[in-house]
Amino acid sequence: MDELKVLDILKNYKNSTNKELTETMDFLKEDFEKTKDLLIKLTYHLDSTEGAYNKVFEEYKKRMLNG
């Protein structure tokens, strides 16, 4: 099922067949899981990037004070 079909069913779900509703729910569940996994990966990446930046920044500040 493609996104356009899902959007069409969402607009007119009361007149959709049970099969269409089931396929839409499957699509949405899969999309939700993919999005959730991506957000988790991005959160770890963001935390790692922040940690690396802070470590380098602290070293830079030490050098500026002593230099």
**pLDDT for the residue numbered 17:** 97
Q: What is the mean pLDDT of residues 60-64?
A: 96
* Buried/exposed 48-58: b ≥16 CB within 10 Å, e otherwise: eeeeeeeeeee
67 has pLDDT over 80: no
Spell out the domain ranges in the chain: 3-66
60 has pLDDT over 80: yes
Global pTM exceeds 0.85: no
Cβ-based neighbour number of residue 6 at 10 Å: 17
Q: 12-53: per-residue pLDDT in tens?
A: 999 999 999 999 999 999 999 999 999 999 999 999 999 999
